[in-house]
Amino acid sequence: MYLLDTNVCVQYLRGKNLLIRQRLASHPTQDVSLCSVVLSELYIGVLRSAKPIKNRADVDCFVAPFASLAFDDSAADLCAGIRHYLERLGTPIGPYDLQIAAIALAHKCTLVTHNVAEFSRVPGLLLQDWETP
C-alpha cells in the first residue's frame, strides 16, 4: 500500500514528470491512497491559484479514485511520539509532514515523496521517490 505525499500529487497534476505518471499507472488504484492532510494541502493550493475553479476540478478528478486515510487517534499517538523523538534529536520536521508520516505508519503504507531528506528522519517509515529513476 502506498500513500502519496502532496509533492507527488502536485507534480502529477502539473504533468511535468512522466515518471510519476508511469509509476502511478503501474499500481492498482486500490494499492494507492491519499490522506486528509494531503487533501487539505492540495485544496489550499487550489485556493491560492490563479485558476481556482479549473484547478479544483483537476484535483477532484485526480483524487476521486483513491481512498483517503484520516488523521485518527492512532495516527495522533504516533505523531506525538515522532515529534518528541525528533525534537529530542534537534531535527524536527514540519507539522503537516509529521501528520502524513504518522498516517503512513498507522496504516503500514510506504510514503511516496520527493522530500526524502525530511521524511527519512522518521524511524520505521518506508519511503519511495517516484520522481527519480
CATH code at 86?
Answer: 3.40.50.1010
In whole angstroms, what is the distance from residue 119 CA to residue 101 CA? 7
In a domain, 51, yes or no: yes
What CA–CA distance (Å, rounded) separates 54 from 82? Answer: 37
Short-list 66, 16, 21, 18, CA closest to 39: 66
Q: Give the structural domain span for 6.
A: 2-128
Domain assignment present for residue 98? The answer is yes
Q: Can you say how many angstroms the Cα of residue 98 is from the centroid of all Cα atoms in its chain?
A: 11
Per DSSP bridges, beta strands 110-112 and 126-128 are: parallel
In a domain, 113, yes or no: yes
Provide the residue-wise pLDDT of the chain in tens; the chain has 133 residues. 999 999 999 999 999 899 999 999 999 999 999 999 999 999 999 999 999 999 999 999 999 999 999 999 999 999 999 999 999 999 999 999 999 999 999 999 999 999 999 999 999 999 999 998 8
23 in a structural domain: yes
Question: 47 in a domain, yes or no?
Answer: yes
* Number of domains forming the structure of the chain: 1
Question: Does the residue 133 lie in any domain?
Answer: no
